[in-house]
């Protein structure tokens, strides 16, 4: 690949992807972090432009350090951005991408790796309104678990996978060099799906997040603290039932897909949510709890809030997810008021 790969959102997931790509021989000096501003770039350069990733899922695994280029909107001096990975939190996507729209052309490849749903639909409404000028959009969903230990130093705690599809591709559309390079990383365990299959995985992950993230934030507890409580199981089942109902009502193609019916079976999802939330990620503090504790914007509107939005468009109340969304927003504001 001749042109660089830019990473917008150099946090936990963005840094993990950047380091894995930068470790590929063919991409030496070809991965560039797009940082928020000059101050952020100077902070990064002050530590020799090194990103550090610890792999705690492996016994005695050496930490990896990647020396990467980094820039910011006012400094960027290129004609086009051919390959861009977006790993900001969903709530920051529009603001972040607007700085780079002038560089993004019809043949540019943009991969969004985020939880939740709705970002692509929103950006098509407010940024890429003319389909004929829209770049190639890809969406990814990851089960890797990664958190920040200190500035530009991350811990890859959960070894998972990365599933990618080209937005709107019904069959197995052709990939692009960016996706093929991500598939070269053994650690990332990347697979390329049809968009229909990715959508099923996105819905499955959204259900996990719709149960785990807001409730651990509202109750201010570790993931595992919700296990073995009958009322939690009852609440999760209410959330899941409403999510699945809204998915199938708002996406008829999903409702007619046997694979979707099997993956999004309510009883299967309840068991899967509790397995992932309480066993696989039991020792995690959920990203939404962390965001509320650190007074950062949460992704509630892309998770439970997205269910409420879809339901409202159908004239359907979605009162369970609406209540959870309100409580999560109240918790965030209560925390923000605390000194
Ligand atoms: N962390 C995880 O284990 C997992 C995360 N996910 C999902 O992946 C996505 C990313 O999550 P995660 O990596 O944890 O989030 P982080 O908050 O760690 O990283 C987001 C990064 O985006 C940066 N950013 C925000 N706005 C801008 C901007 N305008 N310009 C440049 N950079 C910007 C932030 O920079 P700054 O530091 O300056 O604010 C931050 O470093 C989310 O959707 C999350 O739900 C999915 C599975 C697991
Ligand atoms: C699965 C879970 C809840 C793990 O903490 C997660 O994806 C998150 O915290 O965002």
Q: What is the dihedral of CA 142, 146, 147, 149, to 10 degrees?
A: -160
Check whether residue 156 and residue 49 sit in a common domain. Answer: yes
Question: Residue 246 is inside which H or E element, if any?
Answer: helix 230-250
Q: How far apart are CA 253 and CA 145, in angstroms?
A: 31
Which CATH number belongs to the domain containing residue 332 in this structure? 1.10.1040.10
Residues 259 and 132 in one domain: no
Cα angle vertex 229, ends 223, 234, to 5°?
100
**Same-domain status, 45 and 188:** yes
Torsion of CA 292, 282, 271, 331, to 10 degrees: -20
User: Do both 104 and 251 map to the same domain?
Assistant: no
> What per-residue confidence (pLDDT) applies to 61?
83
Q: Which pair of structure tokens corresponds to residue 319?
A: 């009162």
Which residues' Cβ are closer than 6 Å to ligand 2? 115, 208-209, 212-213, 223, 276-277, 281, 284, 286-287
* Cβ 144 vs Cβ 160: under 8 Å: yes
Which ligand 2 atom is the nearest neighbour of the CA of 213?
3
Percent of the chain residues topping a pLDDT of 70: 99
**Overall residue count recorded for the chain in this entry:** 339
Q: How far apart are the first and last CA of the chain?
A: 49
How do residues 12-52 score in pLDDT, each as one tens digit? 999 999 999 999 999 989 999 999 999 999 999 999 999 99
Domain containing 96 equals 5-193
Residues 30 and 178 in one domain: yes
Q: Is it the case that residue 219 has pLDDT exceeding 90?
A: yes
Domain stops at, among 193, 223, 247: 193
Q: What is the mean pLDDT of the chain?
A: 95
pLDDT at 170: 66
Does residue 83 lie in a domain region?
A: yes
Same domain? For 66 and 156 the reply is yes
Q: Give the ligand whose atoms come closest to the C-alpha of residue 13.
A: 1
CA of 91 to the centre of ligand 2 (A): 16
**Of 324, 328, 196, nearest in space to 264 by CA:** 196
Contact 245, 203 (CB under 8 A): no
Q: How confident is the model at residue 2 (pLDDT cuts 50, 70, 90)?
A: confident
pLDDT at 57: 82
Tell me the CATH number at 174: 3.40.50.720
199 domain residue, yes or no: no
How many whole angstroms from 238 Cα to the centroid of ligand 2? 19
Give me the pLDDT at residue 245, please.
98
Mean predicted confidence (pLDDT) in 182-194: 96
Statement to judge: residues 12 and 158 lie in one domain: yes
What pLDDT does residue 171 have?
65
Please state the domain count of the chain. 2
Query: Residue 169's pLDDT is what?
Result: 75
Same domain for 55 and 145, yes or no, is yes
Once rounded to an integer, what is the mean pLDDT over residues 239-250? 98
pLDDT tens profile 256-290:
999 999 999 999 999 999 999 999 889 888 999 99
Per-residue pLDDT of 299-316, as tens digits, reads 999 999 999 999 999 999
Residue 69 domain-assigned (yes or no): yes
Of 117, 113, 277, 290, the residue nearest 188 (C-alpha): 113
pLDDT at residue number 164: 97
Say how far apart CA 265 and CA 245 lie, in whole Å: 11
Q: CA 51 → CA 47, 84, 156, distances in Å? A: 9, 18, 13
State whether 166 and 268 are in the same domain.
Answer: no
Whether 186 and 266 share a structural domain:
no
In a domain, residue 212? The reply is yes
Residue 200 lies in a domain: no
CB atoms under 10 Å from CB of 36, counted, come to 17
pLDDT confidence of residue 106? 96
154-178 pLDDT, tens per residue? 999 889 999 999 998 766 667 899 9
Q: Do 176 and 304 share a domain, yes or no?
A: no
What DSSP string describes 89-151? -GGGHHHHHHTTGGG--TT-EEEEE-SSS-HHHHHHHHT---GGG--EEEEEEE--EEEEEET
Instruction: Single out the residue in 193, 228, 253 at which a domain terminates.
Output: 193
The strand order across the sheet containing 50-55 reads 64-67, 50-55, 153-158, 145-150
Among 205, 233, 237, 309, the one annotated catalytic = 205
Closest residue (by CA) to atom 16 of ligand 1?
11
**Does residue 81 form part of some domain?**
yes
How far apart are alpha carbons 86 and 210 in whole angstroms? 22
Rounded CA separation 100/18 (Å):
18
Whole-prediction pTM: 0.95
**What is the pLDDT, as a whole number, of residue 173?**
67
Q: What is the mean pLDDT of residues 194-204?
A: 96
CA of 15, nearest ligand number: 1
Q: Which of 57, 157, 286, 290 to mutate to test the pocket of ligand 2 (most atoms within 8 A of CB)?
A: 286
Residue 173 tokens, joined: 């559309």
CB 191 within 8 A of CB 198: no
- The sign one gets for the Cα dihedral 225, 227, 231, 234 is positive
Q: Mark whether 17 and 157 lie in a shared domain.
A: yes
Is 205 known to be catalytic? yes
pLDDT > 90 fraction of the chain, expressed in percent and rounded:
90
Residue 302, Cβ neighbours under 10 Å: how many? 22
Instruction: Indicate whether residue 115 lines ligand 1 (CB < 6 A).
Output: yes
Give residue 263's pLDDT. 98
Rounded average pLDDT over 328-332: 98
**DSSP strand pairing (50-55 vs 5-8):** unpaired
Region 82-95: mean pLDDT is 97
Burial state string for 39-68 with b = 16 or more CB within 10 A and e = fewer than 16 = ebbeebeeeeeebbbbbeeeeeeeebebeb
* Calpha distance 34→36 (Å, rounded): 7
Last residue within a domain, chosen from 193, 220, 255: 193
């Amino acid at each position: 690949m001749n042109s660089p790969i830019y990473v917008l959102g150099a946090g936990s997931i963005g840094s993990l992807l950047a380091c894995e790509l930068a470790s590929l021989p063919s991409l030496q000096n070809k991965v560039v972090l797009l940082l928020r501003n000059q101050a952020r770039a100077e902070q990064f350069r002050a530590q020799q432009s090194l990103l550090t990733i610890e792999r705690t899922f492996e016994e005695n695994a050496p930490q990896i350090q990647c020396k990467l280029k980094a820039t910011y909107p006012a400094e960027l001096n290129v004609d086009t951005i051919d390959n861009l990975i977006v790993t900001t939190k969903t709530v920051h996507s529009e603001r972040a991408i607007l700085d780079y729209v002038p560089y993004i052309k019809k043949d540019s490849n943009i991969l969004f790796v985020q939880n939740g749903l709705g970002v692509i639909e929103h950006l098509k409404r407010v940024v890429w309104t003319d389909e004929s000028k829209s770049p190639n959009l890809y969406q990814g969903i990851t089960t890797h678990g990664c958190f920040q230990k200190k500035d530009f130093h991350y811990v890859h705690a959960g070894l998972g996978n990365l599933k990618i599809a080209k937005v709107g591709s019904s069959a197995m559309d052709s990939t692009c060099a960016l996706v093929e390079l991500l598939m070269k990383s053994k650690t990332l365990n990347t697979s390329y799906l049809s968009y229909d299959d990715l959508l099923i995985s996105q819905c499955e992950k959204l259900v996990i997040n719709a149960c785990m993230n807001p409730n651990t934030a509202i109750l201010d507890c570790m993931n595992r603290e919700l296990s073995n409580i009958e009322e939690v199981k009852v609440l999760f089942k209410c959330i899941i039932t409403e999510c699945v109902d809204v998915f199938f009502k708002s996406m008829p193609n999903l409702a007619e897909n046997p694979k979707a019916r099997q993956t999004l079976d309510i009883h299967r999802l309840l068991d899967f949510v509790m397995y992932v939330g309480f066993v696989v990620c039991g020792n995690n503090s959920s990203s939404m709890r962390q965001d509320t504790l650190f007074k950062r914007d949460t992704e509630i509107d892309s998770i439970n809030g997205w269910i409420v939005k879809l339901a409202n468009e159908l004239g359907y109340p979605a009162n369970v997810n609406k209540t959870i969304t309100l409580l999560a927003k109240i918790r965030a504001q209560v925390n923000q008021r605390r000194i």
